[in-house]
Structure 1
Amino acid sequence: MPELPEVEALRGFLAHHLIGAAAKGGAAAGVVKRVYPVAVHALKTYEPPLTAFEGRAFDGVERYGKFLALRAGDLHLVMHLARGGWVRWSEKLPELPPRPGKGPLALRVRLTEPAGTGFDVTEAGTQKKLAVYVVRDPQAVPGVARLGPDPFDEAFTLPVFTALLDGERRQIKGVLRDQAVLAGIGNAYSDEILHAARMSPFKLAAKLDHEEVARIYAAIGTTLGEAVERSRGLPLRDLKAEKKSGLRVHGRKGEACPVCGDTIREVSFSDSALQYCPTCQTGGKPLADRRLSRLLK
């Protein structure tokens, strides 16, 4: 699933290609020629219609947590890429209009100039959760309206983070993933943040002392900041591979921890899994894997 660093990289790439070209003298760059809604189930709003973008120029690209918003005047094309969604830029889109079908293509945007340029929004896998909205205010999207502070916002300070955790009786892993608490962090980067902070994912947020909260706060900034820097300037096709290569524990069950050399372990849930290092995070004690525990009964 694209999380804050990947969506931020997408934002920067699209801002450069849609708006930067126009700023360099290509007045027609970023002007929408046609919009093709291929996967109708992904479209969550119907008024204004997608066709309202045709003839308009994109003049802003914004990020709200994991949401990407392309602005054209008073209209915003807001996308949540969910688990399998992605944006693919093309210098030469097919001439024929796409046909609705069972493929990954969900939305195509063709630009006026340079001829043939534009981008596709795709979704891999069988779980179709990609969401596209056309709104006049991004806050009209329910998922955007409920977002907590953005980790890159200057207003997100240690006292603010401390207040967010005050009285929070959930495990810190779940708190970090809750978009209403903190925007943009998902399963992968919450694993990475907790590993960098040397913190058990199962520890209750309300029981963290000041030093532990400060470690997690610092790890949020460094982990996400480093991920964004690694992604900066990369072609869109390379961003997913870069994300995987930069992860220390997430998705690396059975491998050696790059910090201490212990074996990275996993806890599985119904639709996801977390990875951690026992030596770095839990005092050498393996966490109970509930799925495995059920099998052993």
Structure 2
Amino acid sequence: MGGQGDRSDVGRAPHEPSELELGRRAWRRKQTTRSVLVSLASTVVFATLLVLALRASPGWARVQDSFLDPATARESLPRVLDGLWLNLRVLLAASAGVLVVALVVATLRTLRGPVFFPLRALAAGYTDLFRGTPLIIVLYVIGFGVPGLQLFGRMDAAFWGTIALVLTYSAYVAEVFRAGIDAVHPSQRLAARSLGLTHGQTMRRVVLPQAVRKVTPALMNDFVAMQKDVGLISVLGAVDAVRAAQIEVAQHYDFTPYVVAGLLFVALALPVIRLTDWYAARLRAREQMGSLV
């Protein structure tokens, strides 16, 4: 009997959802389609009403001429794009620096034992200082104050802007990393240490991989914020997209280049924003996933 039962199990089809579950899935698909159609219709109606209201305003003609001139947009686009390339290079360099510095600071803040108190205090003071100081002030101090010490050779304004971004955003990202490290259950550390791993091996192989996975959406949001703050390096004289737009405004007596620069920054940020939303939704679905009925 047992052998016959085993042979009958071999040809059995894999587990399939019940009729109740299939009905629920069909209802969800129907509701999703309905929601998408309603959303599209309401968006079109809202956009139409907004455009009509703007065009009916008394100053629309003057605003259109000053901010939405197609000819000025075409003429200023090449120079603004060249400046955006500088923004992109600074962003990539600053992102790498922020990850390294933030990980070091977060690790220092999580050290245990009284002997490490000076390091913890130094890391805490760093995060308090740069989280409380506006970025533009850090840019002025780093971009004009540090070169005034004449400790280094002549460096480009984009270099000092990158340093200021790293110092400021490392303080924020370090706190994000620290929150992720603290969210890992202490039993993970204890289990790793019981297996003979050192503190450094435990952090590198057990704690940090889990911590980074928990805080990835927050890290991606900080990256989006840094994408637009990269434009502040223009205050140091770097000819980035914002500075290039300012030059074009002075030449054309028209604010359209600022709109062009803003749209380029939005286009640069949109892929990361959508990726962040997708990843957050994926994590949420994984946490809320239940068994089939």
TM-score tier (shorter): under 0.3
- Structure number with the higher helix fraction is 2
- Structure number with the higher strand fraction is 1
TM norm structure 2:
0.22
TM norm structure 1:
0.22
Q: Looking at both structures, which has the greater relative contact order when contacts are Cα pairs under 8 Å and sequence separation is at least 6?
A: 2
